[in-house]
Amino acid sequence: MLHTFAVRGNQLTSLPEARPPGLVLLLANHNQLTSLPENLLTHLSAGAESDVSGNPLPEQVLTNLHTGSIL
């Protein structure tokens, strides 16, 4: 089972919609992400951590991520 999805520093503009269940660590920092998949939180396990810092994400997306809602 995949626990960590690390794609930092790859100039990605998007993340795949589908991610493995049970994911506990998402490292997508320092890319070119401007949005996140709507289903991101449902594919992360309870207590999972994510790092999307260093991306040109709108402030509202970051706020929603920290409050538990991507929408």
pLDDT higher than threshold 90 for residue 18: no
Average pLDDT, the chain: 86
- Give the residue carrying structure tokens 């402030």: 59
Sequential DSSP letters for 4-42: EEE-TTS--S---S---TTEEEEE--SS--S---TTTGG
pLDDT higher than threshold 90 for residue 70: no
pLDDT higher than threshold 90 for residue 46: no
Which pLDDT does position 71 carry in this prediction? 45
pLDDT higher than threshold 50 for residue 32: yes
Amino acid at residue number 33: L
Please count the structural domains in the chain. Answer: 1
Range(s) of the domain holding residue 42: 4-67
